[in-house]
Amino acid sequence: MHRQFPMAALLAVAAWAAAPAMAADKTELQQLQQQIDAMRQDYEARLKALEARLRQAEAALAASAPAPVSDPAGAAERASARPAPAAVPAELPAAPATPAAPTAANAFNPAIALVLSGSYASLSRDPDHYRFTGFLTGSEIGPGVQGFSLGESELTISASVDPWFYGSLSVALEADNSASVEEAFVQTTALPAGLSLKAGRFLSGIGYLNDKHAHTWAFVDQPLVYQAFLEGQLRQDGLQLRALLPTEQYVELGAELGAAGPFPSGGSNGNRPAAAALYAHTGGDVGVSQNWRAGLSYLWAKANDRESWDFDRDGNSVTSSFDGHSRMLIVDGVWKWAPDGNPQRRNLTLQGEYMRRVESGSLSYDIASAATSDHFSATQSGWYAQGVYQFMPAWRVGLRYDRLNIGDVDAGSNVGNLFVPDHSPTRATLMLEWAPSEFSRVRLQYANDRARYDLTDHQFIVQYQVSLGAHGAHGY
């Protein structure tokens, strides 16, 4: 007991000394709790005041809205009671989601996107004489005009109509003050089994680049094979059905029916469709830094009095007319790399497409004067390969090589008139781009163009693009 007493005494002294500190800590905790309670009450009071002001503002807005002229069936009450869909991005994702409920302020306002574009081009050859000699092409080919040009601007208006449909309109505004409808379609958003149906005018889903709008291209212009075989891009006036399969790997199937008119069809085909397309796309990830996509497409078109522009053996411009069938096979592939899957600082994209076109029918050569007609058949092909590397934020460099193969051409009795030289058009293009944000870019491009027979065109182009308004994410 004598040896335990000092220890007990020490514990008693320690407890007596700690009592005031414990009391102080308890007092401080009570004060903190009181402060938290006061802040919570103040926050709730302010929140209730803001909610009251919001209700007053909504009531005032509803009172100031003009009354309908007539509504015998009570449509206005039903419309105000039914939630209207919110605006959605200008470009739909592959698998559209159910539209979210809108706010009262923008319930009926569609998303509006405007892309402004302009350029300055220095060309060593006259672009008015640009032709792919030996190929039946449309008129929309070549590098464009020389000097300063407003370029093509694009206005897009889009919105969800209701939980079942989405609509979009894209208008191209040209430098000559003309306007053309690029796309105007209605698309379903709630079909089962990954199905999506589109009706109206739309960019076809064949290949890889065809359904990409101009402001998403990595270069100023389209590859030569797109210009020669599709007059830049194929637009369909008709129906498109897509199916996203419920598989672990990405697999998409598509089918289209289109009316006559857009190249490579032409003229009128009565009540029957003049173009049909089938395609399949698949892809996936390779680790966390790489992904890929590959596709196979088939296009059939019926040509009726389809005009094409070319040069005769003396270098004179002639216009011919083709009647027959055009069939094309397209193989495309894309590979993308970004460190750890983050493309913000560095990324690399490699892509390429191969097209093979077979046309058979009759050709009326030089319809303005000679108008000699005979059978015509041609098996021709073309391809391009390109790489674009973002080496630091906001800066990209790109390299592209194009080639068209003259192939086999049988012009019948017009073989003496139609100039088909042993020449395969080629072009090499280098691009440097500065994009300080996702809404603006300035691009410098040089191309060594040998598309015309026995001519080399040195093309220097400076381009700017800016995007205004709501603009959705671009496709893969």
Is residue 25 in a domain? Answer: no
Q: What is the pLDDT of residue 228?
A: 94
Overall number of domains in the chain? 1
The candidate with the shortest Cα–Cα distance to 250, out of 275, 285, 225, 224, is 285
Is residue 96 in a domain? Answer: no
Report which of residues 462 and 98 the model is more confident about. 462
Q: What is the pLDDT of residue 453?
A: 87
Q: What is the pLDDT of residue 62?
A: 61
The candidate with the shortest Cα–Cα distance to 300, out of 258, 243, 241, is 258
DSSP secondary structure code for residue 107 in this structure: T
Q: Residue 239 belongs to a domain with what CATH number? A: 2.40.160.10
Q: What is the pLDDT of residue 96?
A: 43
At 44, the pLDDT band (50, 70, 90 cuts) reads confident
H-type helices in 302-389, by residue range? none
Is residue 424 in a domain? Answer: yes
Query: pLDDT, tens digit, for every residue of 82-116?
Result: 333 333 333 334 444 444 444 444 556 789 999 99
Query: pLDDT, tens digit, for every residue of 50-83?
Result: 777 777 777 666 655 444 444 433 433 333 333 3
Share of the chain above pLDDT 70, in %: 84
H-type helices in 65-171, by residue range? 75-81
Is residue 361 in a domain? Answer: yes
Mean pLDDT of 300-305: 92
Contact between 117 and 152 under an 8 Å Cβ cutoff? The reply is: yes
At 252, the pLDDT band (50, 70, 90 cuts) reads very high
Q: What is the pLDDT of residue 471?
A: 74
Instruction: Say how many C-beta atoms besides its own lie within 10 A of residue 175's C-beta.
Output: 16
How many Cα atoms sit within 13 Å of 252 on the Cβ side? 22
Q: Residue 349 pLDDT > 90, yes or no?
A: yes
DSSP secondary structure code for residue 11 in this structure: H
At 261, the pLDDT band (50, 70, 90 cuts) reads confident
Q: Residue 10 pLDDT > 50, yes or no?
A: no
Query: pLDDT, tens digit, for every residue of 148-200?
Result: 998 889 999 999 999 999 999 999 988 888 899 999 999 999 999 999 999 99
Contact between 182 and 170 under an 8 Å Cβ cutoff? The reply is: yes
Mean pLDDT of 265-287: 89
At 260, the pLDDT band (50, 70, 90 cuts) reads confident
- CA separation (Å) from 164 to 96, 284, 303? 10, 29, 36
Residue with tokens 């589109």: 198
Contact between 457 and 426 under an 8 Å Cβ cutoff? The reply is: no
State pTM to two decimals: 0.77
Q: Residue 219 pLDDT > 70, yes or no?
A: yes
Domain that holds residue 210: 193-464
Is residue 254 in a domain? Answer: yes
The candidate with the shortest Cα–Cα distance to 82, out of 43, 58, 45, 108, is 108
Residue 288: both structure tokens together: 């966390």
The candidate with the shortest Cα–Cα distance to 351, out of 283, 288, 300, 407, is 283
Q: What is the pLDDT of residue 41?
A: 76
Query: pLDDT, tens digit, for every residue of 425-454?
Result: 999 999 999 999 989 999 999 999 999 988
Q: Residue 420 pLDDT > 60, yes or no?
A: yes
- CA separation (Å) from 89 to 85, 106, 159, 168, 437? 13, 14, 8, 10, 18
Query: pLDDT, tens digit, for every residue of 129-138?
Result: 898 888 888 8
Is residue 418 in a domain? Answer: yes
Q: Which range (217-231, 370-384, 404-418, 421-435) has the least confidence?
A: 404-418
Q: What is the pLDDT of residue 284?
A: 94
Is residue 136 in a domain? Answer: no
Strand-strand pairing, 372-392 and 347-365: antiparallel
Residue 200: both structure tokens together: 């109206």
DSSP secondary structure code for residue 422 in this structure: S
Helix (H) or strand (E) holding 27: helix 5-64
Q: What is the pLDDT of residue 25?
A: 57
Q: What is the pLDDT of residue 394?
A: 95
Is residue 257 in a domain? Answer: yes
Mean pLDDT of 226-255: 95
